[in-house]
Structure 1
Amino acid sequence: MQDSTIPLGRTAAAVRELLRTLTRRIIKPADHVVHGVKTVIAALLTWAVVAPWAPGNQPYLAVATAVLMVNASTVYQSVRKSAQSVATRIASLVLALATTRLLGPTMGAVAVIAVIAVLAGPRRTTDDRLQVAATAVIALTATATDPMGHLLSPVLQTLTGAAAGIAVNALVLPPLYLNESGSAVRDLAHALGALLQDMGAGLARRQLTSDAHAWLHQARNLDKRLTQAEEQVQQADESLRWNTRCVAHTRRKDMTYTDADAFQVLRGVSIQVRGIARTLTDSAHDDHADHHLGQQFLDRYAEALQLAAAAVQGFVQARPVADTANTSPRERLRRAIDGTLTWHHAMTDMIGQGRLTKPGAWHVYGSLMTDVERLLSDLDRGDVH
């Protein structure tokens, strides 16, 4: 009978990824249903409030505004977008009214609006300026026939729709992104740990020359995961602003702050991991034979990378696992850090005493040792939860 050669760590990672995929597939339809229900509530509420006093009983502008605001990604975004929408509406209608008074609904008025929109200055974005210009052009004829009526009604409709959209978004299951944030941070930690584990296993199997370029490629690809994790953490942090669910679940806010802190630590760790991969690649393909790393050092460094991999992955571990005798994640992290620090001191002494082979590679030894030391230092300082 032949034993399986699939590493247990990779099997566990595959199982975790499968569970996360299944969870996302279950949660996404539920999110769509919630958005649909909130949209219907906001639209009907706005129609009921605005229709009695809207010109011709047509509150379409108010309903459209409410639908946009209730579907904002966060409560904070709905408030910000509402303020921008109201300000843009007022600016465009005032511009239309002014040009109509001076030139009437003519081609000259359109040209003046376009010039003013272009020269509005850098304080407004291009999209805002174009929206102001487009709305002002559409409102030209209306403001010519009934200036004040067509100035006040759209503004009031926009205000009412924005208020309804914000209220529904804030009171009916306001969006939170804490699970997505935590998952992104854990995925980043597992990716960093997996690369450290692969480098350690490769060095132990003496495959530095054949695998070094692959490690460097993986390290560079970590930038994508960093960007994704940062976006998720920022969105989760923003979703807590003015969110009524946080009143009843204050602990979730603390969890998000923990995600943000963990991400900052992992960002520093990723820099060290990339440095290790780059140094190993340069050393493996250095034309100077006396600059190559000695096997004695590589064997011990392989152990250090595997300990560091356990430390990185344990840094974001939520709860003890069955095969660690219920040891807490913080205790496992502390053990990994202490074990690697002990190795670090021993290797430093060996380098200082000249007991390592390949003395011409002392600068490479120093770079690799420094990267591991900084990696562990980042984890140690971040171990506060």
Structure 2
Amino acid sequence: MKNAFARWKPVLRRPDRSQVVQSLKAAAAAIVAWALTGWWLAAPMALMAPWAAVALVQGTVYRSVRTAVQLVLMITVGTLLAAGAAALTGDTMIAMIVVLPLTTLLGNVAPVGGQGLYASTTALFVLAYGSYSAPAVGHRLLETLVGAAVGVAVNAVVLPPVHSQHVGRLAAALPRDSARLLRDMAEGMEDYDTARAEQWHRSAEGLPAALSELYVGRGWDSESFRLNPGHRLRRWTPAPSADWDAVWARVANRLLALTLTVWETASESRVLPLPSPRALEELGRLLSAAAEACEACGVIMEDSSDQEGHDRRRDALADADRALAAVKEHLHGQPPDAQAALGSLVADCQALLDDLAPGGEDAEAGEAPTRA
């Protein structure tokens, strides 16, 4: 048992607050739907109501409403086709042969996303259990409507989901992760080897993935305010502007290029040699200052009026500029291959500092795009 848990532990993660809340809401919606149809109305198809209610406690109120329309439509089509085929053929097997290909195709081609599956599964349940009389069809559709209404109502009234805080966390992770990578590079710049340089590049490859997650999160954030009657009552934090994404997309690309160049200088199979020890020392100072600038950008993102964060970034970029000038001094008198390697690193660092300078992510705050 212990070994089995150890194997599963890497893929298991602790649920966040929103997942717990939505799970409890789905369970509550199913209980309410069952109480209405199975206990109070004593409906013969009461299972349909909690089934629909669970499915419709979605990540946003808008998604719940949209999914409710799609689900009810697919269940209605599947039920009516199955009942009609059974009535015409008088044989369950023949009715399945006729209906299941049609409902499966309809579910795949109709613009209803994953709800298309309900057309064929509903038809299968109707035929398998023989519940295709007119009263049975009516009860099935009525209970589905009740469950859909309960699921949408619970999601809209009880802590309607808002995703702005999630976007803020994703946005804050970009400068934090960039700073962590730059600081690690700064500490190991004087004696890095192929393995460590490869590790830096692998870490840099995770930044575009984080950006993609942020883009998805922005979509959820925008959608969570649509048809949401209680979003003004929920605690939420404004997400940084889209300019923030553009700036950190460039930073991520710079770090990818920089770490690739460093990796190539460490590889024995490449022609780019390692820069001189003095140049590497200055590069370490530059990367350390760039890491400080990234951390300051994170502070500014949380509060653009924080003057201490702006001063911290300005001072860090000034230190980085001085270190960059010192690195450029080592370009003179180098062999062609060494000059090419160091020149590539200098170009990557120059571009990185330009991206970290005030401008893109401070557009909302009115700060001019200048360098200290």
TM-score, normalised by the number of residues in structure 1:
0.73
Is 1:84 matched up with 2:67? no
Is 1:43 matched up with 2:31? yes
1:373 deviates by 3.0
Q: Which residue of 2 aligns with 1:9?
A: none
> Cα RMSD over matched residues?
3.8
Is 1:142 matched up with 2:131? yes
> Counterpart amino acid of 1:333?
R
SS of the equivalent of 1:142 reads: coil
Do 2:78 and 2:103's aligned partners in 1 also have CA atoms closer than 8 Å?
no
SS of the equivalent of 2:334 reads: coil
128 and 121 in structure 1: CA distance in 2 versus 1, 3 angstrom threshold: closer
1:45 deviates by 6.3
Is 1:270 matched up with 2:257? no
Unaligned 5+ segments in structure 1 are 1-23
Mapping for residues 114-125 of structure 1, pairs under 5 Å? 114-120=100-106, 123-124=109-110
Is 1:65 matched up with 2:52? yes
Do 2:61 and 2:161's aligned partners in 1 also have CA atoms closer than 8 Å?
yes
Is 1:201 matched up with 2:187? yes
In the alignment, which of 340, 343, 346 is matched to residue 320 of structure 2? 340
Q: Which residue of 2 aligns with 1:214?
A: 199
Q: Which residue of 2 aligns with 1:316?
A: 298
189 and 366 in structure 1: CA distance in 2 versus 1, 3 angstrom threshold: same
Do 1:47 and 1:63's aligned partners in 2 also have CA atoms closer than 8 Å?
no
1:306 deviates by 1.1
Q: Which residue of 1 aligns with 2:340?
A: 363
Do 1:75 and 1:241's aligned partners in 2 also have CA atoms closer than 8 Å?
yes
> Counterpart amino acid of 2:131?
A
Mapping for residues 286-305 of structure 1, pairs under 5 Å? 286=268, 291-305=273-287
Do 1:226 and 1:267's aligned partners in 2 also have CA atoms closer than 8 Å?
yes
1:31 deviates by 6.5
What do residues 266-319 of structure 1 show as CA deviations (whole Å, max 9, x unaligned)? Answer: 333222112211101211235688843233432222222111111222212269
Query: Partners in 2 of 1:288 and 1:107 — Cα distance?
Result: 68
Q: Which residue of 1 aligns with 2:362?
A: 383
Is 1:329 matched up with 2:309? yes
Query: Partners in 2 of 1:121 and 1:63 — Cα distance?
Result: 22
Q: Give aligned pairs, total.
A: 344
1:234 deviates by 4.5
Query: Partners in 2 of 1:287 and 1:92 — Cα distance?
Result: 62
105 and 374 in structure 1: CA distance in 2 versus 1, 3 angstrom threshold: farther
Query: Partners in 1 of 2:103 and 2:15 — Cα distance?
Result: 46
Do 1:292 and 1:358's aligned partners in 2 also have CA atoms closer than 8 Å?
no
TM-score, normalised by the number of residues in structure 2:
0.75
Do 1:315 and 1:383's aligned partners in 2 also have CA atoms closer than 8 Å?
no
What do residues 38-59 of structure 1 show as CA deviations (whole Å, max 9, x unaligned)? Answer: 7436633674479766745x53
Identity %: 26
191 and 279 in structure 1: CA distance in 2 versus 1, 3 angstrom threshold: same
